[in-house]
Structure 1
């Protein structure tokens, strides 16, 4: 998932990319015509680096502050304390990175290169209907997107520097203190959908966002109004398995499968386990059924191609991975950061749901065997979820 004012993307972290603070920078003498020409070149370089769209915004996000504070006050961030740690700096780019004048917002599409735009959503839906399938969010099946975006944004910064000389900047890739959707909306890349993700008329929402905070007064792009093209559609709310989209443009993270499987460190609330189905890392439902994602685009990059059968593996197959196998196979993956313990927790819930849905002993036996093999796991968290899963046998679906 991608970051938003309402709910942050999975794997949100404070970015560590360097900032080039420059006094008396050469670019200070650029006139309006030169800045406009530079903005055009930046967008061209962005396309060459694999970005689907580049937009430029100013740093005024005052309109987003009240909504952010209300969301935090309501506790919708769950135990993601980092969401509140920066206070309103999250909505104030020039305070977060002093000297920032503009934000270069970048969109990177992430559907794998060989995706068929006409059939991929139906194929994903079919897989979700198979209780034994381990469903991992599309964005997490390939290389860790933080690394891909960070590298490409750094290359973009290098091209700007080669053009105008040293300048002040900071790279953010799905980073905690940044209101990525609000900035991308101001930059004209898209509008906030009712699921809180950014939507684009020509790319749906299957993309990542990244930013360059810069001290160069580039001309800004025209922003889009929030929800301008969602109209009366409520499909994302209707299909959310746990009812996490509590109202248009607000997600309660405490109910969200992405939060529960990625950010949440403790036991998954029992009342939500059955609703999670076979989703073991993230959840794409609100995107799969969004009409705008018929326009989602395959990535021009190879980085997001599925690895380790994460687009085809069964729950039992992944549950059998040892910790060393988990660490080795998911090296370079965003999934690795949740650790083997939470990986097993998530898979145990999926196996329990599959066991409940199994029609006969032939279907139940391998699920029961997989779970029983972990019944004495050293982790109390894993043991609890395995015990719950085994108890699902015989429970009415």
Structure 2
């Protein structure tokens, strides 16, 4: 049997700010909501979300024999998380200002899993970092880390929404599990809904991906055009306005320290950049997901009247 206290110590030693445990079980209500969301076409061009829905909401279908889900969170708030001046037309989501979290968190989880397997020979387990069909936000709620806010993101009491998640699915039971987080602490606040520039939050916890600036700047673009509101990669608008985020502390883990400051970069600097410079300066960040040409196209969409956009 696994010991919850040992797992949480491993998580803290690895650099995670939060860790919770929940038994692996089907999340039937969440699956029903998700299927209804898909049926309404709210996923727009994100066709991959239509696949493996049964696995997404049942960890035991994703990993045979999984008994325990360990949900870990790393805080990443940095100066860009606090928002940009309205005049800034080259905005980058704050999570993308650091080394790609997929790489960082995968290494942190791998170290935890290796330590557990040394202590428990024969233990089966897999690590996940936002790349497999796994309802990680709801698992985080089940593991007691926080609640789902009106912008559909996990909100934690201490770090707000500025957390990055990673999970271990383990093939043994733990001696203790965390109590699921009950209720919401959003109160009457609707800042996230009212602040979204494109109205992508069509109802509490319902996102229309076809209107979402983050999808338009990163993913395969939906058919409809939207005003990018100065964003060239991702969008933090529904986060920077959240009271829980405004009081959240800045991150302290060097692994999540900013690799660059987007507030100091002008549209002209981005447009003048060449591939070699981009690879050197940003090759380890999430910006490579879009690539320089896509970023520059987003710059032009944001600044159509400026001479450097032509």
Q: What TM-score do you get using the length of structure 2 for normalisation?
A: 0.94
1:205 alignment partner, SS class = coil
Return closer, same or farther for 1:250/1:266 CA change in 2, 3 Å cut-off. closer
Per the TM alignment, residue 308 of structure 1 is displaced from its structure 2 partner at its CA by 4.1
State the partner residue of 1:79: 45
State the partner residue of 1:97: 63
How far apart, in 2, do the equivalents of 1:326 and 1:80 lie? 27
Residues 1:284 and 2:236 aligned together:
yes
State the partner residue of 2:182: 225
Q: Which of 24, 27, 30 is the matching residue for 1:59?
A: 24
Q: For the Cα contact (< 8 Å) 1:236–1:290, is it kept in 2?
A: yes
Q: For the Cα contact (< 8 Å) 1:181–1:197, is it kept in 2?
A: yes
1:255 alignment partner, SS class = coil
Q: For the Cα contact (< 8 Å) 2:140–2:146, is it kept in 1?
A: yes
CA offsets, 1:178-216, max 9 Å, x none? Answer: 111100000000000010000111111111011001111
Q: Which of 251, 258, 263 is the matching residue for 1:306?
A: 258
How far apart, in 1, do the equivalents of 2:104 and 2:249 lie? 17
Which stretch of the first structure deviates more once superposed, 280-289 or 157-166? 157-166
Residues 1:39 and 2:4 aligned together:
yes
Q: Look at both structures and tell me which one has the larger radius of gyration over its CA atoms.
A: 1
How far apart, in 2, do the equivalents of 1:252 and 1:311 lie? 28
1:14-53 superposed matches below 5 A: 30=1, 35=2, 38-53=3-18
CA offsets, 1:10-57, max 9 Å, x none? Answer: xxxxxxxxxxxxxxxxxxxx3xxxx4xx21011112111111110011
Identify unmatched segments of 5+ residues in structure 1.
1-29, 356-366, 373-397
How far apart, in 2, do the equivalents of 1:57 and 1:178 lie? 14
Q: For the Cα contact (< 8 Å) 1:50–1:300, is it kept in 2?
A: no
How far apart, in 2, do the equivalents of 1:68 and 1:208 lie? 21
State the partner residue of 1:69: 35
1:266-345 superposed matches below 5 A: 269-270=224-225, 272-273=226-227, 276-345=228-297
State the partner residue of 2:309: 371
What is the CA RMSD across the aligned residues, in angstroms?
Answer: 1.8
Per the TM alignment, residue 327 of structure 1 is displaced from its structure 2 partner at its CA by 2.9
How far apart, in 1, do the equivalents of 2:257 and 2:271 lie? 22
State the partner residue of 1:168: 124
Matched pairs, number: 308
Per the TM alignment, residue 350 of structure 1 is displaced from its structure 2 partner at its CA by 1.8
How far apart, in 2, do the equivalents of 1:324 and 1:142 lie? 19
CA offsets, 1:70-113, max 9 Å, x none? Answer: 1111111111121111132111110011111111000100124x
Runs of 4 or more above 6 Å deviation: none
CA offsets, 1:287-321, max 9 Å, x none? Answer: 11111113323223223333344342111111221
Q: What TM-score do you get using the length of structure 1 for normalisation?
A: 0.74
Q: Which of 140, 143, 146 is the matching residue for 1:187?
A: 143
1:297 alignment partner, SS class = coil
Which stretch of the first structure deviates more once superposed, 82-91 or 237-246? 82-91
